[in-house]
Structure 1
């Protein structure tokens, strides 16, 4: 088992292409070709996490938050980031992080919060833009079916609850190869006309390499004519935050107490109560002040997130309740997602859930 085997599994549910531009995700320390002795899964990577990895003979730490976020100009051990990096390198321990790639996943951080709170009919709160691309190509009609099937097998043609979606129309193409060409159909130097099928399919941007590989392998021509364009269509399952519904509405205080107990929150800072029952709930793990207006626009009765500043509570505008449950508390179950995924994929391999509490905030 190599590090690349582990990261490939993670990236199937949280492709790094969907991480936010400001983020630093992927293999931060280590070599993809390294043999893995064990995997320690944590929310953060601190010195005590590296010590735990050493103790449990794990040479790969899979962490939600990246320990290296901005550039490191020196490695002198003068702060906790440098000390973690130095200790990991000295002990041949690799560190991998996915952060906002998992935030943007339909089965990631926010899906877990919805699961814990028992929310149904969950949908993405802020769909990510520019996630869908369209491929068009021109294939000899007799080869159209085999090329289409190859593209579908590679992941193209999925739209919501439908797969194998494509648009096709027949026409004719012309070409004339030069002296260096080796045409599969026709002869070089002669103008050739071929009955062709125009095939158009959409795909998620992280699949582009696989899609093109499938196209080139299945297409009979020496030179494959194709084009790829970005679409503005909204992807239903990629983006930040989620909104769902309780199976049965609850009174405000009852729901806040339910959230406090269920999410193991030491306390909840919230905006003014509105005196109406809670049914529709928006959630966003981590710092979520930027999505307050999105939660309002989607008709949420309450928005659960963290790191809300004093003046940002005013943005509730008596349209919903803003509830700050704490950054760690909103993301604490993230490592359970990763352990479950990796354990199912590699049932006979050492996938260990860190027992360390890395919450830097304490309450009196």
Structure 2
């Protein structure tokens, strides 16, 4: 097994195409063709985590947070980032990071929080836009079914709970090839009219290469006419945060005790009590103040996130309970979810959960 094999399984869960533009995700250190001796899954790739990988004979670290976030202009060991990277390189250890690609995945960070809290009726809090694309092409009528099936088999035509979705229009296409052409139907330098089907399908943007490959491999024309456009539709399966419901409503103090226990938080910061039951909850792992308004619009009675500042707590506007469980606490179970995913995909290879606590925040 090589590094790329593990990457393929990880990107089934969280395609890198959906990471935020500011982020640095993917293979940060190492060669994707290297054979793997072991995989260590961690939240952060600190020097102590690299030491753990060496001890466990793992030459691939799958990390949620990217150890390299901004450009490195030198490697002298002066910072914790440089030391971790240098040690990984010295011991031929590859580092792969997922970060906001996993934040935006439907079965990613926020779904893992919802599972921890046993929330039902889950949906994305802030769906991404411009993640759905549309292919339009023209094919001889007799070949339309074959091409449609090839596009479907490559992942095209899936809309929500429906598959094999397409729109088709019958018409006539005309063309005339020059002396250098080699038409599959008709003769060069002669005008030709062909009964054609216009096929339109939608597909997720991370599958564009596969969709175009299927188009070119299954279309008989020498020159394939097609267009790919980006739709502005919201993608209900990709985006930040998640909304779900408790099985039974809890009063606010019982709710906070429940959250503290489930998230294994040393302490919790929260906004003023509103003296009402809580059942519908919005969650967003990591720094989530930007999603407070979205949580209100979603009708959440509480919003669980991290890194809320002093003035953020005024933004509750007496409409929902804001709960800050801590950055590490909100994301700490991500590595458990990644280990579970990889263990299902790779049944004959040990996937090791890092035991290193990388939380930089201490409590007194």
Cα displacement (A) at 1:191: 0.5
Cα distance in 1 for residues equivalent to 2:151 and 2:78: 51
| Separation of aligned partners in 2, 1:351 and 1:261 | 27
CA offsets per residue over residues 218-268 of structure 1, 9 Å max, x none? 111111100000101111100000001111111111011000001000011
Match runs of 1:28-177 below 5 Å = 28-177=28-177
CA offset at residue 360 of structure 1? 0.6
Name 1:5's counterpart in structure 2.
Answer: 5
Alpha carbon RMSD of aligned pairs, Å? 0.5
Provide, for residues 273-323 of structure 1, a one-character-per-residue CA deviation record: whole Å limited to 9, x for no partner.
Answer: 100000110000000000000001111000000000001110111010100
Residue 205 of structure 1 pairs with residue 198 of structure 2: no
For 1:281 and 1:139, locate their aligned partners in 2 and report how far apart those are by CA, in whole Å: 49
Counterpart position of 1:183: 183
Distance 1:235 1:214 in 2: 23
Question: What per-residue deviation string (whole Å, max 9, x for no partner) do you get for residues 31-69 of structure 1?
Answer: 111111110000000011000100111000000000000
- TM (norm. structure 2) is 0.99
TM-score (norm 1): 0.99
The CA deviation at 1:13 is 1.1
Matched, 1:313 2:303: no
Which residue of 1 is the match for residue 236 of structure 2?
236
SS across alignment from 1:227: strand
CA distance in 1: counterparts of 2:40 and 2:294, whole angstroms = 35
Partner of 1:344: 344
CA distance in 2, matches of 1:95, 1:140: 48
5 Å-filtered alignment, 1:247-266, equals 247-266=247-266
Deviating runs (4+, > 2 A) in structure 1?
none
SS of the counterpart of 2:235?
coil
Structure 2: distance between partners of 1:235 and 1:74: 40
TM alignment of 1:280-295, pairs within 5 A: 280-295=280-295
SS across alignment from 2:172: strand
